[in-house]
Amino acid sequence: MATQADKLHRTANDLPAETRKEIIPLLQASLADTLDLQTHMRQAHWNLKGPNFYSLHKLFDEVVASAGIWIDEIGERIVMLGGQARGTARAAAAETRLPDYPLDITAERDHLQAAVASLSTYCGSTRDCIGACQDLGDETSAHIFIETSRAVDKYLWFAEAHLQ
């Protein structure tokens, strides 16, 4: 049975079809994770309470906005390579590799710990994609992951600083 990555749309992209078939699943997994990460940060943004509310509210809002940019870049790259981006909430929920975000917390420390877990997992999978794309000769996709990784590392640092 053919998978989604096996069914490439026509494109004049010069990456070999076999290479694109290996890269598209990496991008799709990242798309699911990024969509999920955005919802995690939105959950924290809406529900946290505590003396550092304003600064954390702004931090989580910034991550939500950045994730929106990453989502668009990743989804577009999937289609550029001849794939079909699966960007619905249901697809993301089914495919995400992030830990579940607790829905019943309000304390800022609890949200920070949950956010750190999500950001850390996301950082690791993003870095894995950098090397995989470079090994496959797709520097453009690797660059998307490098830029994303740089930003997520910074957000992880910001969140962890509140816990120390």
91-118 tens-digit pLDDT: 999 999 999 999 999 999 999 999 999 9
Q: Is the pLDDT of residue 4 over 80?
A: no
CA-nearest of 47, 41, 89 to 64 is 41
Task: Tell me which CATH code domain 15-161 carries.
Answer: 1.20.1260.10
Q: Report the percentage of the chain scoring pLDDT > 90.
A: 95
Q: How confident is the model at residue 7 (pLDDT cuts 50, 70, 90)?
A: confident
pTM, two decimal places:
0.94
How high does pLDDT run on average in the chain? 96
What's the chain's Rg over C-alpha atoms?
Answer: 17
Residue 138: exposed, middle, or buried by beta-carbon count in 10 A (0-12, 13-18, 19+)? buried
Question: Which residue stretches of the chain are H helix?
Answer: 17-47, 53-80, 89-95, 108-135, 139-161
Check pLDDT > 80 for residue 132: yes
Tokens 């990460």 appear where? 37
pLDDT of residue 133: 98
Residue spans of the domains in the chain: they are 15-161
What is the residue type of 54? Y
Q: Which residues pair with 49 in a beta bridge?
A: 107
Give the per-residue pLDDT at 1.
41
pLDDT of 55 higher than 90: yes
Q: Which two tokens stand for residue 154?
A: 């910074």
Residue 95's contacts (CB-CB under 8 Å, 6 or more residues apart) are 28, 29, 32, 86
47 CB-contact burial (10 Å; exposed 0-12 / middle 13-18 / buried 19+): middle
Extract long-range pairs of 112-118: CB within 8 Å, 24+ residues apart.
Answer: 112/56, 112/159, 112/162, 112/163, 113/163, 114/40, 114/44, 115/40, 115/41, 115/44, 115/60, 115/63, 115/159, 116/156, 116/159, 116/160, 116/163, 118/36, 118/37, 118/40, 118/41
